[in-house]
Structure 1
Amino acid sequence: MSEPAPGPVAADDPGYTAGAVDLLGVLAYGELTAFDRLAEDARLAPSLADKVHMVAMASTQFEHFRLIEARLAELGTDVMTAMRPFHRPFDSFHAHTAPNSWLEGLVKAYVGDGFAADFYREIAAFVDERTRAVVDEVLAEDAQAAFVVDRVRAGIAADPDVAGRLALWGRRLVGEALSQAQRVAADRDALTGLLTGTDERPGMDLAAASRMFSRLVEKHAARMSDLGLQA
């Protein structure tokens, strides 16, 4: 569980507002690219039922995008403007992690996207209640997660040799996700400022940041275990 924000959110602080907009912007572009990717991966589904599930997952991502768009409008920001800074890091991440099979696509949706979601949940502990509610709804794991776990485990049962390849794939996804997060952090001071805080709006100290990364690693290991893979 995320550590709560240690002080009241200064909603009228321009630095805070810029950080909240960045958080929503990165989530919006993430949901939009996830929609596109899942719709494309549905073409690789081995059965019509699987295809329907993948399309349903893609549809959910677009509904999330609309929720974020509405919250950004409440903050006086256009979603296209908010997403613009994140085109390059996201596109680079997806270019380096294009799946070669349907199972790899499922692992990417569960492990790669899940790691990113955990990180953004940590940041959301430092935003206002309304924005945090939107972030929590967008990042909540739903019944589709059970579908992914079931299909990956079935794939491993059918071909045990695939487990090693998928485990390596999962580790690569997390490495690429960390690199992406570092690029975003280096470019967007306002976003990382939500975590580090200011004199008026305290954030995480080094000990809290260390605990945060420990939580991220533990949750990643749990997801890999859910899939029957070694982290």
Structure 2
Amino acid sequence: MSDSPPGVADLLGVLAYAELTAFLRLAEDAARLAPSLTDRAALSDLAATEYGHFRLLRDRLTDLGIDPEEAMEPFVAPLDDWHRQTTPKDWLEALVKAYVGTGIALDFYREAARTVDAGIRALVDEVLADEGRSEFAVERVRAALEQDPKVAGRLALWARRMVGEALSQGQRVAAARPALAALLVGGEGEDLAEISRMFARLTEAHGKRMAAIGLTPGP
């Protein structure tokens, strides 16, 4: 049995499944949507990095005496649902999803790690490191916008849809897993002021990400 605090198994479990699905989706997008071999290779490198992160989380769960499959299982349905609802139709949508959609999801998990012990927080920081995802997506989307500014509206709508879906799934997960909700906002997850502050931080980070990729004006 694990001696880790309540919520840690959920945090590592949701992160492990998020990284595993990120690996699978990025690899699929590389094969299905990448317009060149260079882009296919670059996205495949990012996918390999995500799998490495999954292995770190799986191993830490095992070290803590927590069965990785049991820790991940509660999050399979909501994360799979999010990916089904946000399947990109083309290369640019795949890039925006990898940067904007995945970004706000990882921000959500980073919030949960603010209250755990230093060792777990260091692991979370390691697996949530950007690893070149931002630079890869920003460069390609900005270049596409320069060539055809008209696609900006479509991509901005796509980004808003993904963020809405991500926040909806996050709320669903937090409601179903009270220990994880307690990591996010403390206590029993009922601190309304802290919930507001958390969503303000998520919204601010999302706005900066959108500006960086060229879909909204900068500050």
Report the TM range for the smaller structure's normalisation.
Answer: over 0.9
Give me the whole-angstrom Cα distance separating, in 2, the residues matched to 1:168 and 1:116.
Answer: 18
**Residue from 126, 129, 140 that aligns with 1:140:** 129
* TM-score under structure 1 length normalisation: 0.88
What's the offset of the Cα at 1:100? Answer: 0.5
TM-score (norm 2): 0.93
Counterpart among 24, 27, 30 of residue 18 in structure 2 = 30
Asked whether 1:174 is paired with 2:160, we answer no
Shift of 1:178: 0.8
Q: CA deviation at 1:189?
A: 1.2
- Once residues 138 and 181 of structure 2 are traced to their aligned partners in structure 1, the CA distance between those partners, rounded to angstroms, is 32
Secondary structure in 2 aligned to 1:98?
A: coil
* Contact kept? 1:24, 1:72, Cα under 8 Å: yes
Q: What does residue range 203-218 of structure 1 map to in structure 2 within 5 Å?
A: 205-218=191-204
Give the fraction of aligned pairs with identical amino acids, expressed as a percent: 59
Contact 1:53 / 1:144 at 8 angstroms: preserved in 2? no
In the other structure, the counterpart of 2:119 is 130
Q: Counterpart of 2:22 in 1: which secondary structure?
A: helix
User: Are 2:18 and 1:68 aligned?
Assistant: no
Number of aligned positions between the proteins? 215
- 1:221 aligned onto 2:210: no
Q: Which amino acid aligns with 1:211?
A: R
Q: 1:190 Cα deviation (Å)?
A: 1.4
* Equivalent pair of 1:126/1:203 in contact (CA under 8 Å): no
Query: Do the aligned residues in 1 keep the contact of 2:156 with 2:215 (CA within 8 Å)?
Result: yes
Say whether the 8 Å CA contact 1:195–1:204 is kept in structure 2.
no
Gap runs ≥5 in structure 2: none
Amino acid at match of 1:85: P
Q: Which protein has greater RCO, CA pairs closer than 8 Å, 6+ apart?
A: 1
Equivalent-residue separation in structure 1 for 2:155 and 2:118 (angstroms)? 38
Q: Pick from 184, 200, 215 the counterpart of residue 173 of structure 2.
A: 184
**What is the CA-CA distance between 1:204 and the residue it aligns to?**
8.2
CA distance in structure 1 between the aligned counterparts of 2:133 and 2:46, rounded to whole angstroms: 7
Give the drift of 1:113.
0.7
Question: Gaps spanning 5+ residues in structure 1: where?
Answer: 1-10
> Do the aligned partners of 2:181 and 2:189 also contact (CA within 8 Å) in 1?
no
1:87-141 Cα offsets, whole Å, 9 max, x none, are 1001111111110001101100101110011111111011111111110001111
- Indicate the RMSD between aligned Cα atoms, in angstroms: 1.8
Structure 2 letter corresponding to 1:55: S
In structure 2, C-alpha distance between the alignment counterparts of 1:83 and 1:49, rounded to whole Å: 33
1:24-63 deviation digits (Å, cap 9, x = unpaired): 0000110011100000110211111111100001000000
Distance 1:27 1:152 in 2: 27
